[in-house]
Amino acid sequence: MTMTTQDPDQHLADLLGPPPADADMAALHARLTAQAEAAGLLDVAYRTLDTPVGTLLLAATPAGLVRVAYEREGLDTVLERLASKVSPRILNAPQRLDGAARQLEEYFGGHRQRFDLPLDLALASGFRRSVLSYLPAIGYGHTASYQSVAAAVNNPRAVRAVGTACATNPLPLVIPCHRVIRADGQLGAYLGGPEIKHQLLDLEAAA
Amino acid sequence: MTGKQPFEKLVSEHGPAVLRVCRAVLGPVDADDAWSETFLSALQAYPQLPADANVEAWLVTIAHRKAIDVIRRTRRAAVPVADVPAVAADPDDRDLDLPRSLARLPERQRFAVSYHYLAGLPYAEVAAIIGGTAEAARRAASDGIANLRKTHGTVP
pLDDT digits (tens, 9 = 90+) for A11-62: 888 888 889 999 999 999 999 999 999 999 999 999 999 999 999 999 999 9
How confident is residue A175, by pLDDT bands cut at 50, 70 and 90?
A: very high
Q: What is the pLDDT of residues B127-156, one digit of tens each?
A: 999 999 999 999 999 999 999 988 776 777
Annotated catalytic, A166? no
Contact assignment for A28 to B8 by CB distance below 8 Å = no
Q: Report the gap between the CA of A64 and the closest CA in chain B (Å).
A: 19
Spot the catalytic one: A177, A180, A191, A201: A177
Has residue A118 got a pLDDT over 60?
A: yes
Contact assignment for A88 to B99 by CB distance below 8 Å = no
Nearest beta carbon to residue A84 from set B1, B8, B113: B1
Give the CATH number of domain B88-156; options: 1.10.10, 2.70.70, 1.20.1740, 2.60.120: 1.10.10
Q: Does residue A91 sit at the B interface (CB-CB below 8 Å)?
A: yes
Q: Does residue A83 sit at the B interface (CB-CB below 8 Å)?
A: yes
How confident is residue B79, by pLDDT bands cut at 50, 70 and 90?
A: low
Q: What is the pLDDT of residues B2-38, one digit of tens each?
A: 579 999 999 999 999 999 999 999 988 899 999 999 9
Has residue B84 got a pLDDT over 60?
A: no
The DSSP code sequence of chain A is: --GGGS-HHHHHHHHHSPPPPHHHHHHHHHHHHHHHHHTT--SEEEEEEEETTEEEEEEEETTEEEEEEEGGG-HHHHHHHHHHHT-S-EEE-GGGGHHHHHHHHHHHTT--SS----B--TT--HHHHHHHHHGGGS-TT--EEHHHHHHHTT-TT-HHHHHHHHHT-SSTTTS-GGGEE-TTS-----TT-HHHHHHHHHHHHH-
The mean pLDDT value for A94-105 works out to 97
Q: Report the gap between the CA of A15 and the closest CA in chain B (Å).
A: 7
DSSP letter at B91 equals G
Chain A residue nearest residue B1, CA to CA: A84
| Contact list, A44 vs chain B (CB under 8 Å) | 6
For chain B, give every residue range classified as CATH 1.10.10.
88-156
Mutate to test the interface with A, among B1, B4, B5, B8 (most CBs of A within 10 A): B8
| Contact list, A36 vs chain B (CB under 8 Å) | 40, 43
Instruction: For residue A179, give the nearest of A207, A138, A131 by alpha carbon.
Output: A138
Query: What kind of architecture, by CATH, is found in domain B1-81?
Result: Orthogonal Bundle (1.10)
* Measured distance CA(A140)–CA(B74) in Å, rounded: 62
Contact assignment for A29 to B114 by CB distance below 8 Å = no
Residue scoring higher pLDDT (B75 or A206) = A206
| Contact list, B21 vs chain A (CB under 8 Å) | 17
Q: With contact defined as beta carbons under 8 Å apart, do B63 and B21 qualify? A: yes
Mutate to test the interface with A, among B13, B43, B96 (most CBs of A within 10 A): B43
Give the DSSP H/E element, type plus range, for residue B135: helix B134-151
Residue % of chain A over a pLDDT of 70: 96
Average per-residue pLDDT in chain B?
87
Mutate to test the interface with B, among A1, A5, A11, A28 (most CBs of B within 10 A): A28
Chain A residue nearest residue B14, CA to CA: A25
For chain B, give every residue range classified as CATH 1.10.1740.10.
1-81
- Show the domains of chain A with their CATH numbers: 37-108 (3.30.160.70), 126-206 (1.10.10.10)
Has residue B92 got a pLDDT over 60?
A: no
The mean pLDDT value for B115-130 works out to 95
